[in-house]
């Protein structure tokens, strides 16, 4: 408890600033939602406050550089959308972010309590699919799986996180479409360019276009890995079965051959020996999933508001060519090799691999 000696509102960002005895200060960021709470507004079941413009900027990586021990906590990055909900309307909320052409680029799910709620959009598109592995690395049966029988594909490298999130939206006017029960509301969300960068909006647009292509390719690779892991889990179970079945040598040999072919394709998509340990980054080369993620990080994470470089575009084309080759091998595996194995399983009355 401390006496408040001064209170003011920062006019541009609508931040409430309080100064206390003892030279303490406290800031409540962006009180536009509170300032909208008049009787008419609160009489509605659902109402949305027009959000303040959101600044699109690249976060800076830095070591502690503040010349004082007093460090504030920045508000959450992105757009803040304040939503009023009555007690009767409280419940699940679905917020869709539409780009200037009307396409949905992000879906946010939350739950609203009675009163004023804040929905946060971090200005990003949807993230790429995160593949889940269903088998341990070869010769590492001790690697633990999670409760659902899967484990995360963890590519330990310091610069990969940026390629595994959706790119930031291009500056412009977007629309938030909010669904609460049977009520649908829309409000514009203005995304502003960082005034401190010299890159143009057109250059940012080119950067985002390449980042979205990388995101889509990561999505496709994630789907491929999920399918192959589902099949490999069944093949591992099949090998356990054929070890105890009499006269199953031919089937066991066919299963072993198919497993090698399967792992050849998977090995092009990710390093099969990834165990989740930090040292994995130094034990084997990154495969397509890790390389795409690293390129995505290089293009848009902790970077600048410029168009992709010629080298980045060239690397993307090389990776794209490798991905097409992996897709050809996977088609061969699923359309030719797997049906051939399943024929032998049917002949012996063994459940086929789906």
| HEC secondary structure over 109-156 | EEEECCEEEEEEECCECCCCCCCEECCCCCCCCCCCCCCCCCEECCCC
The phi-psi region of residue 217 (left if phi > 0; otherwise alpha if psi is between -120 and 50; otherwise beta) is alpha
pTM check: above 0.85: yes
Count CA atoms closer than 13 A to 77's CA, side-chain side.
10
Chain segment 34-45, per-residue pLDDT in tens = 999 999 999 999
**Residue 350 CA: distances (Å) to CA of 97, 176, 230, 245, 341:** 49, 52, 18, 10, 11
Strands (E), the chain: 4-10, 15-20, 24-28, 46-48, 54-56, 79-85, 91-98, 104-112, 115-121, 132-133, 151-152, 172-180, 183-193
Mean pLDDT in residue range 284-289: 89
Percent of the chain with pLDDT over 70: 92
19: confidence class by pLDDT, cuts 50, 70, 90 = very high
What pLDDT score was predicted for residue 66?
Answer: 60
Find the helix or strand (DSSP H, E) in which 62 lies.
none
Look at 63-72, 83-92, 159-168 and tell me which has the smallest mean pLDDT: 63-72
> Does the pLDDT of residue 85 top 60, yes or no?
yes
Q: Chain-wide mean pLDDT for the chain? A: 90
> In the prediction, which pLDDT does 302 show?
67
Residues in the chain: 354
**What does the pLDDT average to over 125-137?**
91
């Amino acid at each position: 408890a401390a006496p408040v000696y001064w209170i003011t509102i920062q006019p541009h960002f609508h931040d409430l600033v309080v100064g206390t005895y003892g030279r303490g200060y406290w800031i409540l960021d962006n009180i536009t939602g509170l300032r909208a709470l008049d009787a008419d507004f609160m009489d509605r079941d659902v109402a949305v406050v027009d959000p303040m413009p959101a600044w699109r900027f690249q976060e800076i990586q830095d070591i502690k550089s503040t010349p004082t021990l007093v460090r504030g906590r920045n508000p959450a990055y992105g757009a803040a959308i304040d939503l009023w909900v009555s007690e009767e309307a409280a419940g699940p909320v679905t917020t869709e972010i539409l780009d200037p052409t009307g396409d949905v680029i992000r879906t946010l799910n939350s739950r609203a309590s009675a009163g004023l709620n804040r929905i946060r959009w971090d200005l990003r598109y949807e993230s790429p699919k995160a593949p889940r592995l269903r088998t341990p690395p070869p010769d590492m049966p001790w690697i633990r799986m999670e409760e659902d029988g899967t484990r995360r594909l963890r590519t330990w490298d310091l610069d990969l996180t940026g390629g595994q999130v959706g790119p930031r939206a291009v500056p412009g006017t977007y629309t938030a479409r909010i669904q609460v029960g049977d009520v649908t509301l829309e409000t514009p969300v203005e995304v502003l360019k960082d005034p401190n960068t010299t890159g143009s909006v057109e250059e940012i647009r080119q950067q985002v276009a390449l980042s979205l292509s990388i995101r889509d390719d990561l999505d496709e690779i994630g789907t491929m890995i999920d399918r192959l892991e589902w099949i490999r889990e069944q093949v591992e179970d099949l090998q356990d079965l054929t070890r105890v079945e009499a006269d199953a040598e031919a089937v066991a040999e066919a299963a072993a051959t198919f497993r090698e072919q399967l792992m050849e394709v998977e090995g092009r998509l990710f390093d099969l020996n990834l165990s989740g340990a930090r040292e994995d980054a130094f034990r084997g080369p990154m495969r397509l999933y890790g390389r795409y993620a690293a390129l995505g990080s290089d293009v848009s994470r902790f970077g600048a508001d410029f168009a992709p470089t010629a080298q980045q575009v060239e690397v993307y084309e090389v990776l794209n060519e490798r991905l097409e080759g992996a897709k050809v091998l996977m088609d061969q595996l699923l359309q030719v090799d797997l049906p051939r194995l399943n024929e032998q399983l049917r002949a012996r009355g063994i459940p086929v691999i789906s």
